[in-house]
Structure 1
Amino acid sequence: MLALLTIALVASLVMPWALPGRGRAMLEGEAQRVATFLRGERDAALRSGAPSEARLDAAAHALRGGGGVLTLPPRLTLRMNGEVPGRIVFAADGRASAAALRLSAGGASVLVTVRPYTGAVEIAP
């Protein structure tokens, strides 16, 4: 009986890490969090009538903006390419500086894009 209990305990600790879909699900969940954060910054610019920006803080592994800080898991790699290095500026009229944020973990990646003319934030695998 003790042997079965030990096997069950070890399996419960090991199996979540061995499942292949878990990393992808975490990655897509984090992409949703990033997109929601960026949409919040865009909406803040529209409401206030003043520009708002999101900045990549590589040292803290986070995105910073007027709405707060979004800290990302350390095992996640985030790369940002765009018109303005390291930040995304949302104008009061809805436009934005074009940007692409690639989130990567465990060989998989997801792309979060910001469209320049509409400020739309989209997620693509």
Structure 2
Amino acid sequence: MTEQQEARKKRLEQKSVVTTRLSETTRFVAFGIIAWVFAVQSSDAEFSKSYVSTYELWINAAGVLAIVAITFDYFQYLCAYFSVNHALSRKSQGYRYNRNHPAYLLQSVCFILKQVFVAFAAVIVATTFTIHVILS
């Protein structure tokens, strides 16, 4: 194996680790936001009641965005399943992925969208909660 091939192999291994961590973190943050929305919405504490009455639309939006992120997470893995199956049917091409196959393309799209949705949800939570704490 040449030095260039070895470097490429290492980068692909690093990419795999990073994308796995991103997916785990996305899932963790999204479920955390959903739990936070439920907790703040159901709390009888005066702070929560005030916070919800001021930012209810934003709080609900964060929850919905987190749910959408989890949905895209699921669809990313579903598309990956179909993409791998398609690659396994390509014996004459060395079982390579077909980068033009819809499942392969959708896998990448879902990966990006879940990051975007959870990021927006996190920004909403952080912003509204910080503003409410400062102004209270």
TM over 0.5: no
Tell me which protein shows more helix as a share of its residues. Answer: 2
TM-score (norm 2): 0.32
Q: Which of structures 1 and 2 has the bigger CA Rg?
A: 2
